[in-house]
Amino acid sequence: MLPDRQYNSLLLDYYGELLTRHQQEILDEYFNEDLSMNEIADNYMISKSAVQDLIKRSLVQLNDYEKTLRLIDKDKKLDQIIEDMKKEDNELLNSFVTKIEKIR
């Protein structure tokens, strides 16, 4: 299992487009650019508590999307299947693995 910060960044990668632009920007700055809540608050001229609230509410949304759609979970399972397929010495399987990897 990934640490919370990495998992939240992954949630943002998968479902960020479903958030508002403002939510996306703030979460990106917090999780990917590693800015503090105070720095983000200064950048947007809002309070630290507003940033904290926005992050909290946005994460609830992102987790709800994952609970419903399970894309991260499905990708993890697909990765395991691909790894298992790579272990087999089978030309047909190898061609399918190559095709799948090109899609991803």
| pTM, two decimal places | 0.82
How much is the mean pLDDT over the chain?
94
Domain ranges of the chain: 1-69, 70-104
**What CATH number belongs to 1-69?**
1.10.10.10
Per-residue model confidence (pLDDT) at position 35? 97
Over residues 50-84, the pLDDT tens digits come to 999 999 999 999 999 999 999 999 999 999 999 99
3-state secondary structure the chain: CCCHHHHHHHHHHHHHHHCCHHHHHHHHHHHHCCCCHHHHHHHHCCCHHHHHHHHHHHHHHHHHHHHHHCHHHHHHHHHHHHHHHHHCCCHHHHHHHHHHHHHC
| pLDDT tens per residue across span 24-55 | 999 999 999 999 999 999 999 999 999 999 99
